[in-house]
Amino acid sequence: MTSVHPSRAFRPRLGAAGRHRLARVTKWRPGVKEIRLDRLLLGGQNGLTAQQFAGVVDDPLWPSRRVVDGPHAELLRRARRSQHAGRELTTEDILASSYAEMALACIRHTGSYFEAVDADGVLAQARRFVARASDPSAPVVAGHQHSAPGLPVLVVPVESSECYQVLDGHHRVAAMAEAGVESVPARVRRGVVRTPLQELLQEMSWLDGGHELYQPIDAPEVASWPTVRRCTDRLESIWAFLVRSDMPAGSGASYLDVASCYGWFVSRMQELGFEAEGIERDPLGARLGSLMYGLDPARIRTGDAVQLLRSAQRRWDVVSCFSLLHHFVLGRGDCTDVELVQLLDSVTGKVLFLDTGQEHEHWFRKSLRGWDTDHVREYLLANTTFDRVVDLGPDSDDVAPYAGNYGRHLFACVRD
């Protein structure tokens, strides 16, 4: 690799001529596929697989991150910013970058990062990369372990997604992104890999290993998985009801979501100012909530809702329990359905939000016969101490792939 001082060599973006030149130096080969840069995810480093690297740096979302959002691209953005500011990329800039953090982690765990074996080596490596990024057609200096700039990057498909994990070529991908290129030629290796996030989601007991999400998760490799429950519709109804009824809304009011799944409602209610907590049977719920929504895992009590509610010594201002009651109606709970709603009643200070499976849903047309909207409302009034039960209307989840199901009404059970 040529070593060009970054202050002289770094050009922030290639214009049309530059992109044309980049295309010319790219060596097209059979079996090579053009892949959009936003579909390329970070892979392993320095001989460690992506999973292993994610483990050693304790960052399970490493393989879920796009290369264009990763450390290589971050270093180039720093270089561009310093060039725009009319100054050189300093040693401090480089050492503060996630690129240096990644390289030093490789050195700690494998002994080297390309030729670098210490911080000085990382600085030199980073400067060479910045220089090369400004001149993609520059020849590679013999002895350097980088692949030539024109070679297709090597990728492997990520299971059940439109994404690919980069096996070789992170620097090239980041440089192309910085140059404004939108896709790269890539050689696609046989087989598929799964990311740690995909594994966690599939291990979650409720979805039985399916390629779908129950609540919204923002990660590129699950972007094509259907999200069973939109959730934003229910949250909007809840918030609008609390505000118009002058109920506890944020400002430190307490909130408990029973059967919180990944913790989407806990995290959103926390953002709205509630002291929010959840109860979830699957221990992966707390882990996923922490990873995906930044929730403190201690906010999710892991265990069976019935036992935890029975032993609760307090009330929460606002409680929700979504899509759990019908499992008890169908005899799958540790107590009767009536006992469950009574437990929910006993821990609710002001308002309980609840939805449940209903008879209009294709999969419950026989098993929940009679459970229409009026029945659910009357059932809640008859079996709890709430003063009013308000029907807030159906959810918007009656869509593919589960069209004919959902459209469950959300009820607010209120203590006046």
Question: Segment near ligand SAM (CB under 6 A), from 45-53, 171-179, 184-192, 319-327?
Answer: 319-327
User: Can residue 364 be called a binding residue for ligand SAM (CB under 6 A)?
Assistant: no
Closest CA to 80 of 131, 10, 180: 10
User: Can residue 305 be called a binding residue for ligand SAM (CB under 6 A)?
Assistant: yes
Output the CA torsion 35→37→39→44 (10° steps): 100
User: Can residue 281 be called a binding residue for ligand SAM (CB under 6 A)?
Assistant: yes
Q: Half-sphere exposure of residue 349, counting CA atoms within 13 Å on the CB side? A: 13
Among residues 133, 324, 354, 389, the one that binds ligand SAM under rule CB under 6 A: 324
Minimal distance, residue 36 CB to ligand SAM, in Å = 32
User: Can residue 309 be called a binding residue for ligand SAM (CB under 6 A)?
Assistant: no
Minimal distance, residue 231 CB to ligand SAM, in Å = 6
Q: At what angle do helices 170-178 and 119-133 cross, to 10 degrees?
A: 50
DSSP string, 273-334: T-EEEEEESSTHHHHHHHHHH---GGGEEES-HHHHHHH--S-EEEEEEES-HHHHHTT-SS
Q: At what angle do helices 98-110 and 119-133 cross, to 10 degrees?
A: 130
Question: Segment near ligand SAM (CB under 6 A), from 13-21, 44-52, 316-324, 372-380?
Answer: 316-324
User: Can residue 259 be called a binding residue for ligand SAM (CB under 6 A)?
Assistant: yes
User: Can residue 214 be called a binding residue for ligand SAM (CB under 6 A)?
Assistant: yes
Tokens of 287: 């882990």
Among residues 45, 82, 323, 348, the one that binds ligand SAM under rule CB under 6 A: 323
User: Can residue 100 be called a binding residue for ligand SAM (CB under 6 A)?
Assistant: no
Tokens of 274: 């509630």
How far apart are the C-alpha atoms of 131 and 133, rounded to whole Å? 5
Among residues 261, 286, 329, 352, the one that binds ligand SAM under rule CB under 6 A: 261
User: Can residue 339 be called a binding residue for ligand SAM (CB under 6 A)?
Assistant: no
Minimal distance, residue 259 CB to ligand SAM, in Å = 3
Closest CA to 309 of 345, 333, 276, 284: 345
Tokens of 310: 């029975």
How far apart are the C-alpha atoms of 186 and 35, rounded to whole Å? 7
Among residues 304, 339, 345, 359, the one that binds ligand SAM under rule CB under 6 A: 304
Minimal distance, residue 305 CB to ligand SAM, in Å = 3
Q: Is 206 exposed, middle or buried (0-12, 13-18, 19+ CB in 10 A)?
A: middle
Question: CA separation (Å) from 7 to 119, 137, 141, 281?
Answer: 20, 18, 20, 56
Minimal distance, residue 257 CB to ligand SAM, in Å = 7
Nearer to ligand SAM among residue 177 and residue 217 (C-beta): 217
Whether the CB-CB separation of 14 and 180 falls below 8 Å is answered with: yes
User: Can residue 279 be called a binding residue for ligand SAM (CB under 6 A)?
Assistant: yes
- The residue count for binding ligand SAM (CB under 6 A) is 19
Minimal distance, residue 224 CB to ligand SAM, in Å = 20
User: Can residue 322 be called a binding residue for ligand SAM (CB under 6 A)?
Assistant: yes
Binding site for ligand SAM (CB under 6 A): 205-206, 214-215, 229, 231, 259, 261, 279-282, 285, 304-305, 322-324, 333
